[in-house]
């Protein structure tokens, strides 16, 4: 069932300020429309609920990748293809590049945006677990102000976010480090490509004198939101990766994830796969601690 196109309205502002002004004057009326890779699927199926859209695809203020000594900052309209092509991201944030390479096919990667992947708020999205594991920050901009906040905590429930109706997600920021980090990213789906994940696992860790230092573990498709596993991290931080530590971490981990049965998979399968991925990650840590 294809939606009736004339029943929708789409406006293309020339500048970011114009878009923000319209969102301030009529909050919740205008829905941002970027690459459209998710919205067009809903349109074609006749299930697109909103009726008024702001085309932000051509806003130059939301494009570009900036590099400083401390951060790499990506405009919200950075595409998956642009993520993969950036040499600093490939070297320092390889999980984000891997997530971008495993999102859809080439057409989706050329059109889909990092900001759109976040704002669409799907718990099965590919880039959010990597962003959580890298402790990313997001910038939310309204007509009169902008604010940076940790990406962890941005999603508050299924399709719910800490973003006001007059705000637009404008940039994503990643902190650079010279420390040697272990990066671990796995997406499990029905196929090797062009599949929505059944489980998506991303983790980073730093090893200090044989001890697990700073680490972050994040998952997709196992909770109503992209999930950061704080209790599991605490069970591992400051420890050597030994059997007793692994068992404690797995027990905490099983209590943090809350997968469901759906059309793509079952709750039990997701739990089993998630635990296997955690153990595989910990084995890699153990080999680096030796």
What confidence tens digit (pLDDT) does each residue in 238-272 have? Answer: 999 999 999 999 999 999 999 999 999 999 999 99
Instruction: Give 24-83 as a DSSP string.
Output: HHSTTT-EEESS-TTHHHHHHTT-----EEEE-TT-GGG--EEE-SSEEEEETT-BHHHH
Q: What is the mean pLDDT of the chain?
A: 94
Q: Once rounded to an integer, what is the mean pLDDT over residues 78-89?
A: 98
Give pLDDT tens digits for 21-53: 999 999 999 999 999 988 888 888 888 888 899
- The answer to whether the CB of 203 falls within 8 A of the CB of 217 is yes
**% residues pLDDT > 90 (the chain):** 86
CATH class of residue range 60-175 = alpha beta
Residue 6 confidence class, pLDDT cut points 50, 70, 90: confident
Taking the C-alpha atoms of residue 116 and residue 52, their distance in angstroms, rounded to an integer, is: 17
The number of helix segments (H) and strand segments (E) in the chain equals 11, 14
Give pLDDT tens digits for 197-214: 999 999 999 988 889 999
- Give the pLDDT score at 289: 65
- Give the pLDDT score at 149: 98
Whether the pTM exceeds 0.85: the reply is yes
- Give the pLDDT score at 182: 96
Q: Once rounded to an integer, what is the mean pLDDT over residues 165-178?
A: 97
Q: Once rounded to an integer, what is the mean pLDDT over residues 276-285?
A: 95
- The answer to whether the CB of 140 falls within 8 A of the CB of 166 is no
Provide the 10 A C-beta neighbour count for residue 217.
28
pLDDT at 192 over 80: no
Per-residue CA distances from 146 to 20, 26, 168, 170, 276 (Å) = 11, 19, 9, 9, 41
**% residues pLDDT > 70 (the chain):** 99
- Give the pLDDT score at 288: 77
Give pLDDT tens digits for 105-118: 999 999 999 999 99
- Give the pLDDT score at 47: 84
Mean pLDDT is lowest, of 2-16, 112-126, 256-270, for 2-16
CATH of 5-55, one of 3.20.20, 3.30.43, 3.30.70, 3.40.50: 3.30.43
- 181-289 CATH fold: Enolase-like; domain 1 (3.30.390)
| Domain regions of the chain by residue span | 5-55, 60-175, 181-289
């Amino acid at each position: 069932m294809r939606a009736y196109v004339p029943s929708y309205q789409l406006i293309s502002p020339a500048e970011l300020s114009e878009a923000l002004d319209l969102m301030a004057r009529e909050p919740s009326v205008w829905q941002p429309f970027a690459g459209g890779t998710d919205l067009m699927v809903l349109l074609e199926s006749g299930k697109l609920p909103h009726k008024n859209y702001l085309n932000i695809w051509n806003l130059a203020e939301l494009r570009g990748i900036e590099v400083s000594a401390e951060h790499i900052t990506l405009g919200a309209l950075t595409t998956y293809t642009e993520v993969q092509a950036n040499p600093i991201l490939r070297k320092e944030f390889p999980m984000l590049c891997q997530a971008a390479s495993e999102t859809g096919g080439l057409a989706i990667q050329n059109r889909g945006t990092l900001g759109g992947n976040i704002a669409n708020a799907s718990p099965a999205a590919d880039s959010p677990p990597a962003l959580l594991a890298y402790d990313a920050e997001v910038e939310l901009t309204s007509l009169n102000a902008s604010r940076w906040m940790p990406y962890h905590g941005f999603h508050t429930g299924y399709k719910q976010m800490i973003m006001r109706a007059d705000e637009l997600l404008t940039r994503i920021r990643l902190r650079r480090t010279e420390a040697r980090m272990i990066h671990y990213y796995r997406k499990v789906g029905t196929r090797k490509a062009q599949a929505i994940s059944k489980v998506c696992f991303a983790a980073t860790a730093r090893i200090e004198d044989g001890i697990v230092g700073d680490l972050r573990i994040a998952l997709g498709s196992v909770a109503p939101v992209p999930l950061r596993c704080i209790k599991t991290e605490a069970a591992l931080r400051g420890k050597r990766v030994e059997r007793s530590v692994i068992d404690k971490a797995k027990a905490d981990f099983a209590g943090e994830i809350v997968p469901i049965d759906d059309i793509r998979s079952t709750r039990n399968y997701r739990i089993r796969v998630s635990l296997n991925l955690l153990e595989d990650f910990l084995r890699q840590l153990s080999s680096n601690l030796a």
